[in-house]
Amino acid sequence: MSHWLFLPLDGRPCNARFPVQLAALAGERLYVPDISLLGDARTAARRDRLQAWLESRLKGAQGLLLSLDTWIYGNLVASRKNREPLRTLQEKIQLLQNYRAQQPELKIHAFATLLRLSNSHDDTEERPYWAQYGKEIYRYAWLEHYLQMHTDHELESEYKALSAQIPADVLEDYRALRLRNFTLLENLLDTVEQGLLQTLLIGCDDGGRYGWTVMERAQLQAQIDSRGLSERVLLYPGADELACTLLARVLVPETPRISLRWTYPEASQQITRYEGLPLKLTLAHQARAAGVELVSESSKGDAEPEAVLWMHNPPAEQIDQYLDRDSRVYHQPEQLEPLLNQLKAAGPIALADVCYANGGDELLLKRLEAEQLLFNLSAYAAWNTAGNTIGMLLAWFKLLLLRPGNEAEKRLFLIERFADDGWYQGIQRQLLCGHYSEPVTLNSCIQAIAFFNDKFRDWQTWMPQAPSCLQIERLSFPWKRFFEVDLRACNKALD
């Protein structure tokens, strides 16, 4: 029997578990290696054992859904820390060519990331010198790009001062790291031309408006266009949602038409916090990558799609709900009425809550609960960046529309998204820690479990649509930090 092999970007739920769950909801099975082999923020994946796992299951495989960051470097974080020479890493690409030569019918669809440029002094996911020079390197790169297009003597002076402040060997090392990543991405474009990779998604992780990442993105896009690869290679802001997007694009090739609605349509061109692009353009990139056609109200014709994607966007500049927790948006009640009315109407609806980066809008969640409309939603996402939220949500919604699956499992996955994206990222995380570097404790886990179980019991008391006997089955912090939580819900009545 044919099967698909899936190599995740790392072992976090968004990268390793969500794609497998979404495939299962659509009646497909992905074979994935043991999570322990995928490494974490400080340890690279066991590439030797991943290679052995892949080779042992390659015979009879219909295709591969492959994170090239994991295959080449050792996972997403390892792509920033790995110190192996370019030639050694290029040999990993050659291995894929060997597999294809042995099994010509094998289909390989892959995703990779353009190296991010972090604006912080946190070296957890970066080179050790990031703790001292991270923000300075970010600013230096920003200025270098900006000054190529603008004349500003004051900023030129700042650029020269930073050039003297940052040690030359640090800048040399980081520039070499970026060049190695860029060269490997160029090599991957070659493999698409040669027919080795059928699809390549390249995510620009944590981009912005200026900087080396933005410069490299433009250079890569120019190559994609000049080589005539724009239908097979898509380059856009994203990272942790790439596997879900690729899954939807490859396993469900049909293109559903979905109506598009906005909470603040006049603000759809606002540039979001981590993409450096207008929200409307990020949405267009994600829809194209997932294989979804969005139909706006102004362009709808006689055959208006029944399914609706609602973009709950901010009225002004998007902020990070965790870092900027004191600057939340306070809506007037009437501003949410169109969304609430849409939820009261018939038809499937997916809600992309991108009012903030990193977590759901508490005011909206409370209104949905008060109006008993939570379970009128088909899909909901509100995690991390706008691109992460939109990409995963569109993949999920596409599968729901075109590959109906088990209703109980679909409901549990929706509940987990309310709990994780909405209540944990939006509210509970801020209550558990004041700073992202605080250590996770057993008491943190107990508090989180108690919070969710209390909420589930509250739902069951007054919300008729809530599943009975709902509770948290498992909860952990996979990288021993508060940034992401791994939680699973269960319905004891079905056990």
DSSP of 267-285? GTTPBPTTTSSBHHHHHHH
Per-residue buried b or exposed e for 56-79, using 16+ beta carbons within 10 Å of the residue's own CB: eeeeebebbbbbbbbbbbbbbbbb
Query: Are 183 and 220 spatial neighbours (Cβ–Cβ below 8 Å)?
Result: no
Shared-domain flag, residues 177 and 87: yes
Is 307 part of a structural domain of the chain? yes
Burial class (CB in 10 A: 0-12, 13-18, 19+), 302: exposed
Residue 474 falls inside a structural domain:
no
Question: Do 118 and 127 meet the contact criterion of CB atoms below 8 Å apart?
Answer: no
The number of domains in the chain is 2
Residues 389 and 314 in one domain: yes
**Domain end point (choices 216, 251, 286):** 251
Task: Evaluate whether residue 463 is within a structural domain.
Answer: no
User: Are 216 and 311 part of one and the same domain?
Assistant: no
Residue type, 74: G
Indicate whether 233 and 263 sit together in one domain. Answer: no
User: If we measure between CA atoms, which residue out of 231, 242, 226, 195 comes closest to residue 69?
Assistant: 242
Torsions phi, psi of 56, nearest 5? -70, -20
Question: Which of 390, 411, 432 is the last residue before a domain boundary?
Answer: 432
Q: Read off the tokens for 372.
A: 């008993």
Q: What pTM did the predictor assign? A: 0.95
CB-based contact 9:35 (threshold 8 Å): no
Report the CATH number at residue 268: 3.40.50
Indicate if 234 and 270 belong to the same structural domain. no
Identify the CA nearest to 188 among candidates 79, 46, 30. Answer: 79
Return the structure tokens found at 481. 């930090």
Q: Looking at the structure, do residues 196 and 145 belong to the same domain, yes or no? A: yes
- Taking alpha carbons only, the member of 311, 217, 199 closest to residue 266 is 311
Report the pLDDT value the prediction gives residue 306, as an integer from 0 to 100.
85
Residue 494, in any domain of the structure = no
Helices and strands: H and E segment counts in the chain: 17, 13
107 to 75, 95, 449: CA distances (angstroms):
22, 15, 42
Domain boundary, last residue among 414, 432, 450 = 432
Residue 438 lies in a domain: no
Would residue 481 count as lying in a domain?
no
Both 236 and 344 in a single domain? no
Whether 491 is covered by a domain: the verdict is no
Print the domain residue range for 223. 3-251
Q: Are 116 and 233 in a shared domain? A: yes
Examine the domain organization and report whether 315 and 224 are in the same domain. no
Same domain, yes or no: 77 and 206: yes
Contact of 432 with 448, CB cutoff 8 Å: yes
Residue-level pLDDT at 300: 57
- Give a yes or no: residue 437 inside a domain: no
pLDDT in tens, the chain (495 residues): 468 999 999 999 999 999 999 999 888 889 999 999 999 999 999 999 999 999 999 988 889 999 999 999 999 999 999 999 999 999 999 999 999 999 999 999 999 999 999 999 999 999 999 999 999 999 999 999 999 999 999 999 999 999 999 999 999 999 999 999 999 999 999 999 999 999 999 999 877 789 999 999 999 999 999 999 999 999 999 999 999 999 999 999 999 999 999 999 999 999 999 998 999 999 999 999 999 999 987 665 556 788 999 999 999 999 999 888 888 888 888 999 999 999 999 899 999 999 999 999 999 999 999 999 999 999 999 999 999 999 999 999 999 999 977 888 899 999 999 999 999 999 999 999 988 789 999 999 999 999 999 999 999 888 888 888 899 999 999 999 999 999 999 987 665
Whether 134 and 247 map to the same domain: the answer is yes
Shared domain check, 264 and 236: no
Burial 233-254 (b: 16+ CB within 10 A, else e): bbbbbbbbbbbbbbbbbbbbee
